[in-house]
Structure 1
Amino acid sequence: MKVGVYSGSFDPITLGHQNIIERASKIFDKLIVVICTNSEKKYWFSLAERREMLEELFKEYKNIQIDSYEGLIANYLVENNLGVIVRGIRTTEDCGLELYFADGNLMISDYKVDTVFLPAFKEYIHVSSTAAREISRYGGKVTCYVDQRIAERLLERGKLYSSKKK
């Protein structure tokens, strides 16, 4: 069975993430989407909320599993005897950074973990969680960045963070 792992903080999950997940789920027999936590980041949504959003979006996909992990994604793969990380690339800047991470993951895993890159569709090149959060602070059209099923949650959270900035 071919298993791939796609990881991210998904705060919130964007249309770009969603597209990469859907495409990767067609390549692999099983795709594990891992919600990672980074001690350096301040999240708008709790781990449980991020998991709920992912589960809602992919409940119809029988080969997609949602998991979470705190630590290096290469360690997650080694601990679970998995060998392929899926990464999306939007820009040439992403490419350089992702190649750097791919090499690091190879070394950390003693060359047990490889990386497969999927290029973003052109309509998602501008899409990021950071931009989606910023747009939501001002009540903007977030459906250009997130699925309709996520938009209301994001706009509500944006109101909360907008009032904290003032």
Structure 2
Amino acid sequence: MKIAVCPGSFDPVTNGHLDIIKRTSKLVDKVIVAVLYNSGKTPLFTVEERLELLREVTKDIPNVEIDCFSGLLVNYVKQKNINVIVKGLRAISDFEYELQMALTNKKLNPELETMFMMTSGEYSYLSSSIVKEVCKFHGCIDGLVPEVVKKALYKKFK
């Protein structure tokens, strides 16, 4: 069984994230969307809230599983018997960082492969940070996030 992981903070999940998840689900038997718990950051949404939002927006994709982890991704994938990491790329700046991470992961686990997937053009500018900033200042986030995420954001910034 070919299992891929799409790791990230997903604070919150955007339509760009969802695009990568859906496209990955067509290429492998199972996709695990893994929310990174990073104690060094102060996210807007708790890990539990992010997991619930991801479950809701992926509920119609039968081969997607939602999970979370902390620590090194290579340890998580080894524990879950995952052999492919899928990372979405928006721009060259993403590539530089993600290449460094992919090469480090490969050094730590030579059996692990990282696949880079270009985001669809309509989401190439989109990030969770931008969505939060726009919402915080009462800008329109229609089309940037799924409806359930939009409602959760409005509630946070109420």
Tell me the TM-score range normalised by the shorter chain. Answer: over 0.9
TM-score (norm 1): 0.91
Residues 86-125 of structure 1: per-residue CA shift (max 9 Å, x gap):
000100111111111100111122x121101100111101
Structure 1: runs of 5+ lacking an equivalent: 160-166
CA distance in 1 between partners of 2:69 and 2:61 (Å): 21
Which secondary structure state, in structure 1, belongs to the residue aligned with residue 142 of structure 2? helix
CA distance in 2 between partners of 1:144 and 1:82 (Å): 32
Counterpart residue number, 1:132: 131
What is the identity percentage for the equivalent residue pairs of Structure 1 and Structure 2? 37
Residues 127-156 of structure 1: per-residue CA shift (max 9 Å, x gap):
000001111111111123211221011122
Moved over 4 A (4+): none
Q: Where is the helix percentage greater, Structure 1 or Structure 2?
A: 1
Q: Larger radius of gyration, structure 1 or 2?
A: 1
CA distance in 2 between partners of 1:156 and 1:139 (Å): 12
Name the stretch that deviates more: 133-142 or 143-152: 143-152
Question: Is contact 1:16–1:124 with CA below 8 Å preserved after alignment?
Answer: yes
Residues 33-85 of structure 1: per-residue CA shift (max 9 Å, x gap):
10111122111111111011001011121100111101111110112222110
Structure number with greater CO (CA < 8 Å, separation at least 6) is 2
Question: Is contact 1:78–1:112 with CA below 8 Å preserved after alignment?
Answer: no
- Letter of the 2:92 counterpart: T
**Alignment length, in residue pairs?**
158
Structure 1 vs Structure 2 CA RMSD: 1.0
Which secondary structure state, in structure 2, belongs to the residue aligned with residue 144 of structure 1? coil
CA distance in 1 between partners of 2:89 and 2:115 (Å): 10
CA distance in 2 between partners of 1:48 and 1:71 (Å): 17
Which secondary structure state, in structure 2, belongs to the residue aligned with residue 99 of structure 1? helix
